[in-house]
Amino acid sequence: MPTAVVTGAGRGLGAAIADRFASAGWHVVRADVEGTDTYLDVTDAQGCRELAEAVQPDVWINNAGVLGAGDAATQPDQVIEQVVSVNLLGVIHGTRAALAVMREREQGRGAGHIINVGSLASWVPVPGECVYAATKAGVLSFTLGLAAELTSQGVQGIHLGVVCPDGMLTPMITDVLDDPAIAMTFTGFRQVTPERVADEVWAMVRKPRRLVSVPHWRGAQVRVFSAIPDVALRLAPVFMRLGRAGQDRVRQRLGR
C-alpha cells in the first residue's frame, strides 16, 4: 500500500487532500500541530526528517500554511516571521526531508512525488496579503528550481510539482472573514472548493505535472497580469473593490 504524507492535514485543504488519497486506498499520514494523530511542526527541519525516515513516503504534500493578512509595513514581527517560517521554510524543510529518502530508491534515480501547495497570489500584487503572497512566490521558485537541479543531476524518478489554487473557503479564510485585509481573496467569480483542489493534487500524482492552477482559467488570467506589473498595480484598487463586494456576498451567504 503506497504512503502519502500530508502536512497541515488537521483541517481545510489538507484534510480534503488526505481524504482524497485515503479514498483511493492509500495509507495517509495526516500531519499537523493539532487535529491529527501525527504531530509535525513544519518549521522544525529535524522533525520533518524524522517523519520522512520513519514512514518512507511515496508522496509528500507540503500543504501547511498560515495567512497572516494585514498591513505588511506595520504588522508585528512575530506575524511576519510565522508566515515566512511556516509557508516557505516549512515547504523547504518538508521537501528536503522527503527528497532525502526518495532519492535513495531505484539505484539512485529516485522514486516519489513531492507536491507543494502554492497560490495564484504567487504572480500578482495582493494588497493585504503581501507577505503570504511573497512566501507562495518563494514556494513556486523553490520547487521549479529544485526540479531543474534534480534533472541536471540525473535524478529521473522524483516528480516535483506546485498546485496554485484561487481563494478557498477553508478555515484559514472563514476564521477571519470580516477582516478587510483579505478582500483580494474574493476577486474570482466564486471560491474554489478544497475538494476540487484535492482532485487536482491526486491527478498530479497520477500524471505528473510541474504546475497546475485551480481553476485553470484563473491561472492564465493572473499570469497575463504578472507580465504587465505596472498595469496590475494600477488596477489593484479596482480589484480591491471587486473583492470587498465578493467578501460581502460571502458573509451574507454564510450569515455573518
State how far the alpha carbon of 134 is from the alpha carbons of 1, 52, 98, 125, 130, in Å.
37, 27, 24, 9, 6
The pLDDT of residue 49 is: 98
The pLDDT of residue 231 is: 84
Q: Strand locations in 38-144, DSSP E?
A: 38-39, 59-62, 112-117
The pLDDT of residue 100 is: 96
In degrees and rounded to multiples of 5, residue 138 shows phi and psi of -65, -40
Of 106, 245, 235, whose CA–CA distance to 188 is shortest? 245
CA dihedral 26, 196, 193, 222 (to 10 degrees): 130
Whole-number Å distance between alpha carbons of 52 and 37: 16
Q: Are 192 and 165 in contact (CB under 8 A)?
A: yes
- Could you give the angle at which helices 90-102 and 45-55 cross, rounded to 10 degrees? 30
Whole-number Å distance between alpha carbons of 171 and 11: 7
Confidence label for 225 from pLDDT (cuts 50, 70 and 90): confident
N-to-C CA span, the chain: 44
| Cell numbers linked to 225 | 497580469
| Fold held by 3-177+190-226 | Rossmann fold (3.40.50)
Residue 199 has pLDDT above 80, yes or no: yes
Residue 108 has pLDDT above 70, yes or no: no
The pLDDT of residue 56 is: 97
| Cell numbers linked to 19 | 481524504
Is the overall model pTM greater than 0.85, yes or no?
A: yes
pLDDT digits (tens, 9 = 90+) for 146-181: 999 999 998 989 999 999 999 999 999 999 999 999
Q: Strand locations in the chain, DSSP E?
A: 3-7, 27-32, 38-39, 59-62, 112-117, 158-165, 211-214
Provide, rounded to the nearest whole percent, the portion of the chain with pLDDT above 90.
80
pLDDT digits (tens, 9 = 90+) for 65-107: 999 999 999 999 999 999 999 999 999 999 999 999 999 887 6
Residue 246 has pLDDT above 70, yes or no: yes
State how far the alpha carbon of 1 is from the alpha carbons of 4, 22, 158, 197, 221, in Å.
10, 11, 18, 23, 39
Please give the radius of gyration of the chain, using alpha carbons only, rounded to the nearest integer. 18
CA dihedral 188, 191, 197, 199 (to 10 degrees): -110
